[in-house]
A and B are shown apart, each in its own frame.
Chain A
């Protein structure tokens, strides 16, 4: 039967996007879709799964499972994978999944591909289009030569659509034996971030090197405040210490999808665009009319962001 499994931690990380993709692929492969939910969730799993044409919902809930990234989680997934057959296992590419997915693959001798942007099954062959060179290129990986594959998919560019035919899948609890597994890595300290997160903001104003100096980051913050949004930053200025790491957008930072993204003094390097390309409306402000950022933007202003940012703040307030 060689099922397609969509595996998520609760319902987070783009579960419905991945279920939409998973259902399409399962149909193309002539097989069924299973949704494996790890960790407790209050959501109506059967209802969500039914809309997406899921055949079975499997649930793993265990008091020892505290994260999707640790030794217990990998052991739980490996036990599940040994118990139930599948051909393709899809995970949303969350921070934890970047480690969990390849570890699981090694445990069960499956093939693994991460950074997936698109996935298709044609004539029974599965191919994944993934991002490479920080987003500068796309590579296509053919999944042939192993029986099973784990694929990490970036869900920010995937659509959510209900399946043509809804289902009423059973929700079953899968019992595993995790008694012998202990976390080998102990968390000693954690910087607690409180307050709103840029991933959830509807309006973002991001600053880059074009600000010229740390003190000018306040212009970004002022416009963000005037717009009722949040301030964000490119990697170079976070590296310089002009802005907090929690504000960093891009490949090594946050993947955002706001309604409005204002990029000020940001050149538009691919690794940055990975984190904001899903914005509904992107506005670019840059001195260089040839800057790459304008190729992604809907609206642009060619000018010095040190003049344009305060002018925008005045225009919003005015």
Chain B
């Protein structure tokens, strides 16, 4: 029996481009007071989700027979094509207006999709979206499916014993790495510590052209509009102001500047 992996992915605004604009003080908030509307900011797959796909591909390469489905809620942009070019089995788009959904609604749709497929052995998610940084969808999906949730994986190892799958995860914690064991089915969130996600090969790109994206609606999944009513509404977005009152310490040489700084810190009782 093949290991059924479902990877949840989303499209985000390139966080590096957002960071660059923010650092230059040029990040523009749209007329609605909450959207980042600069068209020069590229849209791409959430990098943590790319690493979740990478984790799935590595499990397959380790010799575990598996099917890899990548699912995204809302307009997937190019991310499902990108996923297809990496060699996953089925890209799935759940039709929905993400602007009208909160993370609770997204999680309900993702969980309903997994259920519609008769479950999954491993649900992989990025540790968080690099846009909202909330990091809650994976936990909500896990709870809706009644599955254990292992967060912040740096490595995932699957062992097959007959019809059952054992999952070993090395997770990154503030106190160092921790290795945990859990029986599938389970949800695992993947972090950047997994390492660089691969790029598609030319052959992968060619094959992806022929791959059809499966499209499903909330109705197909048995999710009523009422169940998707948001609990949390984003009403505003702004760029925080930074005080910017740095006093530059000068000196003719590095030693002089250093001595001036240390003297200053001592005068201010920051240092003894």
The answer to whether A binds B is: yes
**A residues touching B (Cβ–Cβ < 8 Å)?**
71, 95, 98-99, 101-103, 105-107, 110-115, 127, 130-146, 149, 184-193, 199, 227, 239, 245-246, 251-254, 259-260, 268-270, 280-281, 283-284, 292, 294-304, 307-308, 310-312, 314-316, 318
Specify which chain A residues have a CB less than 8 angstroms from the CB of B133 in the assembled complex. Answer: 114-115, 130-134, 251
B258 touches A133 (CB 8 A): no
Contact B234 A300, beta carbon cutoff 8 Å: no
- Could you say which residues of chain B place their CB within 8 Å of the CB of A146? 231-232
A145 with B231: CB separation less than 8 A: yes
Whether B233 and A300, one on each chain, are in contact in the complex, defined by CB atoms closer than 8 angstroms, is no
- Given known pairs A132-B131, A133-B133, A189-B179, the reply for A281 and B172 (CB within 8 Å) is no
Could you name 22 residue pairs across A and B whose Cβ atoms are closer than 8 Å?
A102-B136, A103-B139, A103-B143, A115-B134, A133-B18, A133-B130, A136-B27, A137-B22, A138-B238, A187-B178, A245-B177, A246-B174, A270-B19, A281-B268, A284-B246, A299-B261, A300-B246, A301-B251, A304-B254, A308-B257, A310-B254, A311-B258
> Which listed residue, A98, A190, A193, A283, touches B261 by the CB 8 Å rule?
A283
Q: Judging by beta carbons under 8 Å apart, are A259 and B176 in contact? A: no
Residues of B within 8 A of A298 (CB): 245-247
Find out whether the CB atom of A301 lies under 8 angstroms from the CB atom of B249: yes
A297 and B246 contacting across the interface, CB-CB below 8 Å: yes
Closest-by-CB residue of A relative to B19 is: A136
Q: Does B58 contact A (CB under 8 A)?
A: no
Q: B99 contacts the other chain (Cβ, under 8 Å)?
A: no
Question: How many Å lie between the Cα of A292 and that of B143 in the bound state?
Answer: 40
A210 to chain B, nearest CB (A): 14
Question: Could you tell me if A315 and B182 are in contact, using CB atoms closer than 8 angstroms?
Answer: no
Which B residues from 96 to 145 make CB contacts under 8 A with A? Answer: 102-104, 107, 130-136, 139-140, 142-144
Whether B233 lies near A145 (C-beta < 8 A) is: yes
CA distance A139 to B32 in the complex (A): 13
Across-interface contacts of B247 in A (CB, < 8 A)? 298-300
- Cβ of B203 within 8 Å of any chain A Cβ, yes or no, is no
Complex alpha-carbon distance, A188 and B150, angstroms: 13
| A142 CB contacts on chain B under 8 angstroms | 232-235
CB within 8 Å of A: which of B212-263? 229-240, 242-251, 253-255, 257-259, 261-262
Is the Cβ of A188 less than 8 Å from the Cβ of B139? no
Instruction: Flag if A299 contacts B142 (CB, 8 Å).
Output: no
Given contacts A142-B232, A190-B175, A246-B175, 10 further A-B contacts (CB under 8 A): A103-B143, A106-B140, A132-B132, A133-B130, A137-B237, A239-B193, A301-B251, A303-B254, A311-B253, A315-B262
Cβ of B246 and Cβ of A299 under 8 Å apart?
yes
Chain B residues near A106: list those with CB within 8 A: 107, 139-140, 143-144
Check if A95 sits within 8 Å of B236, measured CB to CB: no
**Pairwise interchain contact B242-A296, C-beta atoms closer than 8 A:** yes
> Given the complex of chains A and B, what is the CA–CA distance between A102 and B253 in angstroms?
54
Q: Among the listed B103, B144, B174, B239, which residue makes an inter-chain contact with A95, where contact means beta carbons less than 8 Å apart?
A: B174
B262–A254 contact, CB under 8 A?
no
B→A interface (CB under 8 Å):
13, 15, 18-19, 22-23, 27, 34, 36, 102-104, 107, 130-136, 139-140, 142-144, 148-151, 168, 172-183, 186, 191-193, 229-240, 242-251, 253-255, 257-259, 261-262, 264-265, 268, 270-271
CB neighbours (8 Å) of B231 from chain A are 110-111, 143, 145-146, 149
CB-nearest residue of chain B to A78: B143
Chain B residues with CB under 8 Å of A127's CB are 235
CA distance A198 to B36 in the complex (A): 35
B149 touching A99 by the CB < 8 A rule?
yes
Q: Is the CB of A140 within 8 A of B236?
A: yes
Q: CB distance A187 to B148 under 8 Å?
A: no
CB distance from B224 to the nearest CB of A (A): 15
A295 in contact with B242 (CB, 8 Å)? yes
Closest residue on chain A to residue B196 by CB atoms: A239
Chain A residues within 8 Å of B237, by CB: 132, 137-140
In this complex, which of B133, B175, B179, B271 has the most chain A Cβ atoms within 10 angstroms of its Cβ? B133
Closest 5 CB pairs of A and B: A191-B176, A111-B231, A106-B143, A311-B258, A102-B139
B172 and A245: CB pair below 8 A? yes
Question: In the complex, are the beta carbons of A114 and B134 less than 8 A apart?
Answer: yes
Q: Do A113 and B249 have beta carbons less than 8 Å apart?
A: no
Nearest A-chain residue to B263, judged by Cβ: A315
Which residues of B sit under 8 angstroms from A199, Cβ to Cβ?
174
Inter-chain contacts of A144 with B (CB < 8 A): 233
For residue A97, give the distance in angstroms from its CB to the closest CB of chain B: 11
Q: How far is the CA of A193 from the CA of B38 in the complex (A)?
A: 44
Query: Are A139 and B181 neighbours in the complex by a CB distance under 8 Å?
Result: no
| Bound Cα distance from A54 to B233, whole angstroms | 30
Structural contact, B19 and A134, CB atoms closer than 8 A: yes
Cα–Cα distance between A292 and B242 once the two chains are bound (Å): 10
Q: Chain B residues near A101 (CB, 8 Å)?
A: 136
Min distance, Cβ B222 to any Cβ of chain A, angstroms: 18
